[in-house]
Amino acid sequence: MTDTSYANHCIICNVTSCKHHNDRKNYCSLEAIRVGTHESDPSQDQCTDCQSFAPKQDNTIFS
């Protein structure tokens, strides 16, 4: 199970379905995240993604 007790106060996040989310403090529990885009020419905030996201119900063996 992932330890999410750490709250990185530089990364405010409300994505509660992510396994890195600190649900108690509403911050990310990672030291750093990767932000990217799924668009060829991003122009709005909706075009960007947290690529460190991982679902809480991840059944991958080596997660």
Chain residues that interact with ligand SF4, rule: CB under 6 A:
11, 13, 15, 18, 20-21, 28, 30, 33, 50, 52-53
CB of 55 to ligand SF4, least distance (A): 10
User: Is 25 or 50 the residue whose CB approaches ligand SF4 more closely?
Assistant: 50
Residue keyed to tokens 């990364």 = 11
Distance, C-alpha 48 to centroid of its chain = 12
The two three-digit tokens of residue 52, written as one number: 């460190």
CB of 12 to ligand SF4, least distance (A): 8
Tell me if 56 sits within 8 A of 17, measured CB to CB.
yes
